[in-house]
C-alpha cells in the first residue's frame, strides 16, 4: 500500500542523503491514471522529469494501482547519481541513441536492484530511526 505523501517525501529526503544526491530539489507528484496520461503521456507507469542542468526534478507515482513505489524512488534517484554518465553519453553520441539508452536503463535497473537488496524498506526505516542525521 502506498504510504501518505508526507511519508514518501521523508523517504525521498532520506534516500537522497544516503545516495549523496541531497543537493537536488526533488518534488513528489502523486497522480491517478487519467492525470498520469495527461502529465506524463502514459497512464500505466511511474516516471520522472529530471533537469540535469538545474538539479531539480519531479517524480511521478501512479496512485491508481498497487506497485513497487520504493523501486521507482530508488530507480529515479539512481539516475541522479549517474547523471555524469548521461552528460558523457550525450557529449559522445551527440544526442540520443536508443542502444545507449537501453544499456543505460539496464545499468540503472541493476543498480536499483542492488541498492534495494542491501537496503529494503524495513532496513531503510531502521537506518532513518538510528541515525537522525540522515534525515535531519
> Rounded to an integer, what distance in angstroms lies between the CA atom of residue 69 and that of residue 86?
24
At residue 18, what are phi and psi to the nearest 5 degrees?
-60, -40
Grid cell at residue 113: 536492484
In the complex, minimum distance from the CB of residue 109 to Zn ion, in angstroms, rounded to a whole number: 7
Which is closer to Zn ion, CB of 104 or CB of 135? 104
Which is closer to Zn ion, CB of 40 or CB of 108? 108
Which is closer to Zn ion, CB of 11 or CB of 108? 108
Interface characters, 34-73, with Zn ion (x: CB under 5 A): ----------------------------------------
> Rounded to an integer, what distance in angstroms lies between the CA atom of residue 97 and that of residue 90?
9
Q: Which residues have C-beta within 8 Å of that of residue 22, sequence separation ≥ 6? A: 13, 16
**Residue 71: beta bridge partners?**
none
Which is closer to Zn ion, CB of 13 or CB of 83? 83
In the complex, minimum distance from the CB of residue 79 to Zn ion, in angstroms, rounded to a whole number: 6
Instruction: Count Cα atoms within 13 angstroms, Cβ side, for 104.
Output: 20
Subset of residues 87 to 116 that bind Zn ion, contact rule: CB under 5 A: 108
Site residues (vs Zn ion, CB under 5 A): 108
Amino acid at each position: 500500500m502506498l504510504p501518505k505523501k508526507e511519508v514518501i517525501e521523508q523517504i525521498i529526503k532520506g534516500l537522497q542523503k544516503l545516495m549523496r544526491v541531497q543537493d537536488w530539489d526533488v518534488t513528489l507528484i502523486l497522480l491517478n491514471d487519467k492525470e498520469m496520461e495527461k502529465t506524463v503521456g502514459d497512464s500505466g507507469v511511474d516516471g520522472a522529469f529530471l533537469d540535469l542542468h538545474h538539479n531539480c526534478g519531479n517524480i511521478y507515482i501512479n496512485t491508481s494501482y498497487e506497485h513497487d513505489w520504493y523501486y521507482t524512488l530508488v530507480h529515479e534517484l539512481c539516475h541522479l547519481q549517474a547523471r555524469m554518465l548521461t552528460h558523457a553519453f550525450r557529449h559522445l553520441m551527440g544526442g540520443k541513441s536508443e542502444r545507449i539508452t537501453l544499456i543505460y536503463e539496464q545499468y540503472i535497473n541493476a543498480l536499483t536492484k542492488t541498492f534495494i537488496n542491501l537496503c529494503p524498506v524495513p532496513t531503510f526505516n531502521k537506518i532513518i530511526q538510528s541515525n537522525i542525521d540522515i534525515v535531519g
